[in-house]
Structure 1
Amino acid sequence: MTSALPGLHPLSEPGAYDALLARMGARRFVLIGEASHGTHEFYRERAALTRRLIEDHGFTAVAVEADWPDAYRVNRYVRGQNGDHSAAQALGDFGRFPRWMWRNEDVRDFVTWLRGHNERRPQAQAGFYGIDLYSLHRSMDAVVAYLDGVDPAAAQRARQRYSCFEPYGDDPQSYGLATAYGVDEPCEDEAVAQLLELQRREAQTHGPDLLAGDDLFYAEQNARLALNAERYYREMFRGRLDTWNLRDTHMADTVDALAEHQRAQGLEPRIVVWAHNSHLGDARATEVSWRQGQENLGQYLRERHPGQTFILGQSTHSGEVLAADDWGQPGRVKGVRPALAGSVEAALHDLGVGDFWLDLQGEVPEALQAERLQRFIGVIYRPGTERQSHYYHTRLPEQYDALLYLDQTAALVPLDAGSGSDEGELPDTYPSGQ
């Protein structure tokens, strides 16, 4: 088959991304996914598209599938607000499994570029933010640290409230297990009270017509994260499927809160979101929604911002990936098996075009209109059970607005020799791996 197919744009052609960027640039929220957390080309192309959106279309923020405190250190670096001397140093708070997901050469290079862009164009700066919810204890510590600097009495109240979590140490799983079954009373009321106090502080300090300060916004988001993480860890041990929905709701709420904060600062918020396809591809077009009721970030943003959200998925047929065998184990380069016959990836490979992006909102090739298997690789890759572990049915044209297909791909290059699990809170992407 040839590139004469409607809506198919080979990357080998000059200006291959121009039409895609024109469509993306007309939206307020651009979601760029990935079919794995360990593929170099996914990170490279996503960064290249994001650079164009920031430079040419005035996008104001990059929001990534990472914890708020870890990413906020990077945000301060790209804005010249902290003492880090390099992008690699600014990425230093990403210390838990899987470190390679953000501590890799492609992210380092993008952060370096973003710092330079912000220095060159101080009136058109873009920030870097995390939207995930695993940093329960670090977020509580950040709330107290902020209040220590502005209101010691309020800091003491925060310590008192968060002391509810102290019997469980730094292990949120112990907290979740003890409170899920009524052995101990949950700390939800204390977390709610702390968030409400910070929200009252914002209203009293700034009023409805004044700009909200970044430091207070950072603290308030940490308090919101602590509340949602508390609920997440409790629900995890009740065996309910809605922990996924709770997590993705938190991510969508964080994107919206960031947009509102930027609007309060006098900006017109335009946000690029980086996350796995499983979070960004509209869940309503997937088997996990039809059978399990799973929802996701892409669905939420489409529902909340109709006509203002653009979703680009990424896919590959075969190659290599950086992934672990199991939780907490070091990442290693693994061969990615050729896509299963009948899958989305096999159909894209059979087009015989190589690397391309495909417009899914126009005339879609008949072979891709039907329900098909689609592959999802997170931070763990199990080739031996690939059909059961990494594939489920989807309807591609309903899932994304466009798809970037890279036929043969290579593994990410991590910044650290070992990328296993450190002591502390749960690993990013737990328990789904995505």
Structure 2
Amino acid sequence: MATDIKDTAHAVEAGAVMRLLPARPRLLALGEPTHGEDALLDVRNELFRQLVDQEGYGTIAIESDCMMGLVVDNYVTTGTGTLDAVMAHGFSHGWGESAANRELVRWMRAHNEGRPESERLRFAGFDGPLEITGAASPRQALTALHGYLSAWVDASLLPCTAETLDRLLGADDPWTNPAAMMDPAESVGQSAEARELRLLADDLVALFDEQTPHLIAATSRDDWDRARLYGRTATGLLRYHFWMAHTSPSRMTRLVGLRDSMMAANLLALAERDPALIHAHNGHLQRDKSTMRMGGQSLEWWSAGALVNSQLGEEYAFLATALGTIQHQGVDTPPPDTVEGLLYALQEDLYVVDAHGLTAALGDTRPTARVSPYYGYAPLDPAHLDGYDGIVFVKDVPRSWRAR
């Protein structure tokens, strides 16, 4: 069995990855089983560089706030701002502290320097403006969409004025109250003002759609794409806040599902552009349903990857990342009967495995699920093997920025 499995392993290179797939996908998803480890981001960065040079990929998208990601995109495409400022204000979830993310942004800016606009690499965050403790105010996205429409559409067509939006939005603090995540009574998402904002946001997006030919001609496809992002984000946030205020037993299931739905909508919009490498937790990118326990509940919902795959088919590909050890987090050598244990037995420190070849090598045998002693690391689920196009294996993960 070990010899057969060894035959499925290849260097993590763009060419080797493409040979695992029936065709070059518009979205190539690279997952990770834990966050905050630069060693995994270094692998991502090198693969992206090769995809750019060899396969014509033009965009990288990561699990970060889609609105904040615009700051990074402006910098890498036009040089607006400074690298320090971009790392401080262009990433959510603390990703701006990562040396590997900093190197990615630096390299993209250097690559784009002096190139025509059509050849510049693009950066995107594809998560909503959401953190585990709550959600952002819809102010930024909603007012940006209104401002775009106000500049290019007759004022009589707008459903409201900017002053009305400002009054209904009120202060941002009630929207971002962290207590609302666990207590619906603390949320403003079903207030009279929030309900009116949902209707206005829907009207603004409808007007935006109706005026598409004019807007693209009057501004640019890029400006229109950005305004469309504002609309998706505004309506998504208002919907998310509505469910934060809900007392239904399905409340948490809806919240995690809405987050992945927002991710999927952003990814499908990116798929209309250049081929993109996307990077996030395996659980967001897998083709199978995602599961987790939160607040004593067992939650199950369709991941962003499953949603995107249902629409793109073979134009979506997923490489899950597995790892052997994270010694600084108490994750030791994997048991030999797990997926990670079988891959750990091979000599190489880093490689990509043909997932279909691995399944064939295993035959009727299915590995045991690895149990993680560290809450921040999710081992591969052996039941999901058929949903992977490949598995990137990192044998040992050294101490990284988050653990220092």
Q: Distance in 2 between matches of 1:110 and 1:191?
A: 35
Unaligned 5+ segments in structure 1 are: 263-268, 322-333, 377-381, 418-434
**Could you tell me whether the CA contact under 8 Å between 1:347 and 1:368 is conserved in 2?**
no
Question: Does the C-alpha gap of structure 1 residues 339 and 23 become closer, same or farther in structure 2, counting only changes over 3 Å?
Answer: closer
Does the residue aligned with 2:25 lie in a helix, a strand or coil?
Answer: coil
Structure 1 residue 130: Cα displacement = 1.4
| 1:220 counterpart = 2:208 | no
Question: Does the C-alpha gap of structure 1 residues 218 and 162 become closer, same or farther in structure 2, counting only changes over 3 Å?
Answer: farther
| 1:117 counterpart = 2:111 | yes
Structure 1 residue 113: Cα displacement = 1.2
- Listed one character per residue, the Cα deviations across residues 135-187 of structure 1 (whole Å, up to 9, x for unaligned) are 43432354355567667956972442353231663533459644567787633
Structure 1 residue 232: Cα displacement = 1.4
Q: Given residue 274 of structure 1, which amino acid in structure 2 is its aligned partner?
A: H
Structure 1 residue 314: Cα displacement = 0.9
Q: Given residue 143 of structure 1, which amino acid in structure 2 is its aligned partner?
A: L
Q: Distance in 1 between matches of 2:167 and 2:363?
A: 57
User: TM-score normalised to the size of structure 1?
Assistant: 0.74
Structure 1 residue 43: Cα displacement = 0.3
Structure 1 residue 338: Cα displacement = 4.1
Pick from 51, 61, 64 the counterpart of residue 62 of structure 2: 64
Pick from 86, 98, 106 the counterpart of residue 104 of structure 1: 98
Structure 1 residue 226: Cα displacement = 1.4
> For residue 266 of structure 1, what is the aligned residue in structure 2?
none
> For residue 420 of structure 1, what is the aligned residue in structure 2?
none
Pick from 315, 319, 326 the counterpart of residue 312 of structure 1: 319
Does the residue aligned with 1:306 lie in a helix, a strand or coil?
Answer: helix
Structure 1 residue 28: Cα displacement = 1.5
> For residue 396 of structure 2, what is the aligned residue in structure 1?
408
Alignment of 1:112-261 (within 5 A): 112-119=106-113, 121-122=115-116, 123-134=118-129, 135=136, 136-143=138-145, 146=148, 157-161=161-165, 163-166=167-170, 169=173, 171-173=175-177, 177=185, 178=187, 186=195, 187-206=197-216, 212-238=220-246, 239-260=251-272
Does the residue aligned with 2:201 lie in a helix, a strand or coil?
Answer: helix
Alignment of 1:375-386 (within 5 A): 383=374
**Could you tell me whether the CA contact under 8 Å between 2:33 and 2:378 is conserved in 1?**
no
Does the residue aligned with 2:301 lie in a helix, a strand or coil?
Answer: coil
Q: Distance in 1 between matches of 2:175 and 2:121?
A: 34
**Could you tell me whether the CA contact under 8 Å between 2:159 and 2:200 is conserved in 1?**
no
Q: Given residue 308 of structure 2, which amino acid in structure 1 is its aligned partner?
A: L
Q: Given residue 165 of structure 1, which amino acid in structure 2 is its aligned partner?
A: L
> For residue 76 of structure 2, what is the aligned residue in structure 1?
78
Alignment of 1:363-382 (within 5 A): 363-364=358-359, 365-366=361-362, 370=366, 372-373=368-369
Structure 1 residue 32: Cα displacement = 0.7
Q: Distance in 1 between matches of 2:46 and 2:173?
A: 42
- Listed one character per residue, the Cα deviations across residues 306-337 of structure 1 (whole Å, up to 9, x for unaligned) are 1111111112121256xxxxxxxxxxxx4434
Q: Distance in 2 between matches of 1:147 and 1:411?
A: 48
Structure 1 residue 406: Cα displacement = 0.7
> For residue 305 of structure 2, what is the aligned residue in structure 1?
298
> For residue 28 of structure 2, what is the aligned residue in structure 1?
30
Unaligned 5+ segments in structure 2 are: 130-135
Q: Distance in 1 between matches of 2:370 and 2:26?
A: 28
Q: Distance in 2 between matches of 1:287 and 1:369?
A: 24
Pick from 342, 366, 382 the counterpart of residue 347 of structure 1: 342
- Listed one character per residue, the Cα deviations across residues 31-63 of structure 1 (whole Å, up to 9, x for unaligned) are 011111111221011111111111211112212
Question: Does the C-alpha gap of structure 1 residues 159 and 352 become closer, same or farther in structure 2, counting only changes over 3 Å?
Answer: farther
Question: Does the C-alpha gap of structure 1 residues 369 and 296 become closer, same or farther in structure 2, counting only changes over 3 Å?
Answer: farther
> For residue 281 of structure 1, what is the aligned residue in structure 2?
286
Q: Distance in 2 between matches of 1:43 and 1:356?
A: 15
Question: Does the C-alpha gap of structure 1 residues 258 and 170 become closer, same or farther in structure 2, counting only changes over 3 Å?
Answer: farther
**Percent identity between the two aligned chains:** 19
Structure 1 residue 9: Cα displacement = 2.3
**Could you tell me whether the CA contact under 8 Å between 2:356 and 2:390 is conserved in 1?**
yes
Q: Distance in 1 between matches of 2:400 and 2:193?
A: 43
- Listed one character per residue, the Cα deviations across residues 260-279 of structure 1 (whole Å, up to 9, x for unaligned) are 3x3xxxxxx31211111110
Q: Distance in 2 between matches of 1:21 and 1:235?
A: 41
Question: Does the C-alpha gap of structure 1 residues 213 and 159 become closer, same or farther in structure 2, counting only changes over 3 Å?
Answer: farther
**Could you tell me whether the CA contact under 8 Å between 2:65 and 2:127 is conserved in 1?**
yes
Q: Distance in 1 between matches of 2:206 and 2:113?
A: 36
Deviates most, 365-374 or 213-222: 365-374
Does the residue aligned with 2:357 lie in a helix, a strand or coil?
Answer: coil
Q: Distance in 2 between matches of 1:374 and 1:146?
A: 50
Instruction: Give the aligned CA root-mean-square deviation in angstroms.
Output: 3.7
Does the residue aligned with 2:326 lie in a helix, a strand or coil?
Answer: strand
Pick from 73, 88, 109 the counterpart of residue 92 of structure 1: 88
Question: Does the C-alpha gap of structure 1 residues 215 and 374 become closer, same or farther in structure 2, counting only changes over 3 Å?
Answer: farther
Question: Does the C-alpha gap of structure 1 residues 50 and 292 become closer, same or farther in structure 2, counting only changes over 3 Å?
Answer: same
Q: Distance in 2 between matches of 1:167 and 1:393?
A: 44
Question: Does the C-alpha gap of structure 1 residues 189 and 374 become closer, same or farther in structure 2, counting only changes over 3 Å?
Answer: farther
Give the length in aligned residue pairs.
Answer: 378
- Listed one character per residue, the Cα deviations across residues 361-419 of structure 1 (whole Å, up to 9, x for unaligned) are 2353318962642578xxxxx73x68xx85684424223110111111024336xx9xx
> For residue 44 of structure 1, what is the aligned residue in structure 2?
42
